[in-house]
Amino acid sequence: MRSLQEAYIVAAQRTPVGKAPKGQLSQARPDDLLAHVLREVVAVHPQLDKNQIDDVIVGCARPEAEQGLNVARISSLLAGFPHSVAGVTVNRFCASGLQAVAWAADKIRQGEADIMIGAGVESLSQVTMMGNKPAMNPAIFTDENTGIAFGMGLTAENVAQRWHISREAQDQFAFQSHQKAIAAIEAGHFNAEISPYPLTLTQPHATGGVSSHIISIDTDEGARTDTDIEKLAQLRSIFAARGTVTAGNTSQTSDGAAAVLLMSERMLKALNIAPLARFVGFAVAGVAPEVMGIGPVEAVPKVLKQTGMQLSQMDWIELNEAFAAQSLAVIDKLAIDPSCINPCGGAIALGHPLGATGAIRTTSLVHGLQRTQQRYGMVTMCVGTGMGAAGIFERM
C-alpha cells in the first residue's frame, strides 16, 4: 500500500456572513458568493496556474434552485477557472464544508492530486431551511424512525433535557458568543480571512430609469452589540411550550461562502509557497437523530484515535454553535476546556450558513492559529439527522 503524503492549506478565504433572509447578502446569488471566494483564494498565490487545479469540491446543504445544478462546477466557471477544472458538490448537511475540505485533502494525501480546493456555500435567504419541495418519506414517521423527522429545535430541547442544560446556562453561553465576536470584529481578527464582497445595488427613479452603485460588504453581520443577559432571558422558547431553546440561544440562519486551497508538498516546493496549516485528520460518527446535537461527542474521540492525538493538545476548537444547549452538552461530555472554544465567537453570533459553515470555520481556525502562533486546532459540529464531524489541523 502507498504511504500517505501530507496535504497543506496554503490559502483560505471567505465572504462575510450575512443574516438571512433580509440581511446584507440576501440578494446575492449563492453561486456568485462561491465564485467570489474561488477567485479570491487562488489570487493569494498569483504564481499558481489555474490549469493545475485538479478538482473543486464544494459543500452545500441545500443543493437546489439558485445553488443547484452542481454549484461547484457552475461557480468554478463563473469564477473564470479553465474548462479543464472539474467540480463536484457534496452534502453532509452542517458538515458539508468541512467534508469538502477533508475530501480535497484526502485526494492529495492519496497521491491522486497536487492542488485541490475544498469549499462551502449556502444562502438561506435564497433557499430556505426545508428547501423548495420538502417531501419526507412516510416511513420516517414510524416509531423506530420518527427521530429523523424531529425539527432541529426539538432535538436541542431533547439534549437540554437529557443532559440537564439550564436556560440560564444557555443564555450565558449565547451572550459570551456575541461578546467574543464583537471583540474579534473590533480588533480586526477577521480581516485577513474575509474577502470583501462587492454588492451591486440598483435604485429606480420616479422619473424613469435605474441607477446602480457598488458597495463593499466586509463585516460579519450577526454579532449584536445591544444584547445582554436580561434581554436574552425575556425571549420565549420557540420549539416547545415549556422549553429552554430560544431565538437568542440558537444559531442564526445566514448566507455566506468560503474556499480553502490545498497543495501537496511537491507543489509547495515547485511554487515556493509557505503553507498556513497541515491537514491532520477527519472523522464522522452517527448518533440518534432525536439528539443530533451530541454528534461531536462521538466524532471527536474517533478523530483523536485515528490521529493518535489527545484532546488536551488542541489549542483552539471551533465548535459550531448550532444551539447553546448542544454546545454545552458537548463541552461537558468531552470535558473540553471552555477557554479553547470559539475564541472569536461562534454561530450564535456569527451565523450558520449550513453547507458553508465547515469551510468558514476552517478558514477562521487556520488564520487564528497563525495570528496567535498556536499549534493545533479542531473544527467540529453536530449534523442534521444525527451525526457529528471533526477535523484536526496543525499550524505550519
Q: What is the end-to-end Cα distance of the chain in Å, rounded?
A: 27
The pLDDT mean for the chain works out to 96
Active-site annotation holds for 164: no
Active-site annotation holds for 344: no
pLDDT tens string 37-69 = 999 999 999 999 999 999 999 999 999 999 999
Distance CA 240, CA 245 (A): 8
Distance CA 118, CA 76 (A): 12
pLDDT band at residue 145 using 50, 70 and 90 as cut-offs: confident
Q: Above pLDDT 70, what percent of the chain?
A: 99
Catalytic one of 36, 60, 94, 344: 94
Active-site annotation holds for 94: yes
Cis peptide before 21 (omega within 30 of 0): yes
Dihedral (Cα; 388, 73, 42, 350), 10-degree rounding: -40
Helix or strand holding residue 199 (H, E): strand 197-204
pLDDT band at residue 2 using 50, 70 and 90 as cut-offs: low
Q: Are 268 and 275 in contact (CB under 8 A)?
A: yes
Q: Above pLDDT 90, what percent of the chain?
A: 89
pLDDT tens string 148-183 = 888 899 999 999 999 999 999 999 999 999 999 999
Residues 6+ apart with CB under 8 A from 377: 277, 314, 315, 316, 317, 318, 365, 366, 368, 369, 392, 393, 394, 395
Q: Are 393 and 278 in contact (CB under 8 A)?
A: yes
Catalytic one of 36, 178, 189, 352: 352
